[in-house]
Structure 1
């Protein structure tokens, strides 16, 4: 029996609707999986397990991105995992640069999908970038903070590259905007980054260590004192910069005495304890 034109149209419309719905469900499921994976890793207290196991998940995230390259949520999840692995587990600087570069690439793609004016201004003048940045609001916090984190990681592992260092003013502006929009986001993560950036150079060379100290104190407050990496970086960048051994040792001993277990901070805190021990030991020769 021949199919009527009206029935054929209805069947085609139904197929289109089902395909769209299926795509939406799959995208939601993929985003949920990446979020759950990231949370599980951040809650892990066995750094060896993470060091050995995460590379497989990096490949998995690559595969998810390959299958859905226009999904900013998956791109940001990939950027976060690559950035965390490069910063926490890779000692070879050349390899760290490659991994941090992948994190930056994913985060930039997410930014360009969601914040095209800001993306277009990235390689332009600072004034054009600052103007585009003013348009960002609360709905943009995950994207701009995720990109800023990946950008900071890339600059860190390329500290000998003056082109990378030249990007610091834009990165700082981006972090300040994220801090203005939602200072509580990622347990005060923007304040932590700003503490580091302002404590890189002494005041005599244009640094602003006292502003850095204020940001570190704010980051401690916003994380409820649970993020022990704040204390580690506070000691490493500010206390050493101003040669305050009393503050340096106090912060690091607080890290060693703290319980590392905290939601989404356990892995970071476990790494912080390891770094705190090393800084205390090297501090004997530093001060």
Structure 2
């Protein structure tokens, strides 16, 4: 669904863990309180890994570990954030199988909602626009990690159901959520709230009420917040902005800059390698598009 797909390659930025050998997984189940620190170490391993295929192959075992830990403690916020993030990543990696992608996304949604929605209260995602805006205003800076994980889980669900008009009707709420995250902490995850907001604000062309310059500004700010190291922001500028305005010169310049860059950057290497793969594909299709 060209022009509407949310391209959740950027969901990689939320991943908190990497699978371990099965014997070590069994040991981890006995460690209890050590899992939080291990998750942080695994997060760095994932984000700094240069091979997406290795990460893809390692994910399933750790997903099962998180599921088992959450059976014992279903309200642990750190585990819920890790599970929501990793299932979102796995959903994006399952793009070739739409059924598996939807299953993974629903698991993401389960954990993401549990992170943010109080027992007995009306689900945040189902509130009216006015009630939703009021609820967002009550979140503060300390809530950014769980609100962000919830937003990414929601995006993963929309991506997996992108042909469902009912699911896409939630896009204004998701956009409002990331706008709130930008207000609270635009630099979280090296500018990820700005990156997501930029993508969301570039989904509609000007003829349908879109304001491309706003989207461009958000993506450029995301790039600035990462110190220029986040190659995904440049890919999204080419894909969302340059293609929307049929600016071939800008499109090719951005993508060639991505390919010429060193993808190695703390916390961004995995995303940057993926961004370079996408840049090659976009350049290869440019003659047909333009």
Structures share fold, TM-score greater than 0.5: yes
Specify which structure has the bigger relative contact order, considering alpha-carbon pairs within 8 angstroms and separated by 6 or more residues: 2
Partner of 2:132: 129
- Displacement of 1:116 in angstroms is 8.4
TM-score, normalised to structure 2's length? 0.85
Higher helix proportion, which one?
1
- Between the aligned partners of 1:256 and 1:78, the Cα distance in structure 2 is 32
Structure 1, residues 140-191: CA drift from partner, whole Å, max 9, x if none? 0001111111111211221111111111111111101110001100111111
Structure 1, residues 80-113: CA drift from partner, whole Å, max 9, x if none? 1111222245322222122122112111111125
Range with greater deviation from structure 2 (93-102 or 203-212): 93-102
Q: Residues 161 and 167 of structure 2 are in contact (CA less than 8 Å); yes or no, is this contact kept in structure 1?
A: yes
Report 1:144-223 matches (<5 A).
144-223=147-226
Partner of 2:87: 82
Partner of 2:101: 96
- Between the aligned partners of 1:54 and 1:37, the Cα distance in structure 2 is 11
Q: Which runs of 5+ in 1 are unaligned?
A: 1-24
1:138 maps to 2:160: no
- Partner of 1:132: helix, strand, or coil? helix
Partner of 1:250: 253
Cα distance 1:83–1:48, how it changes in 2: closer, same or farther (>3 A)?
same
Q: Residues 43 and 262 of structure 1 are in contact (CA less than 8 Å); yes or no, is this contact kept in structure 2?
A: yes
Partner of 1:64: 69
TM-score, normalised to structure 1's length? 0.86
- Between the aligned partners of 2:124 and 2:59, the Cα distance in structure 1 is 34
**How many residues are paired up?**
261
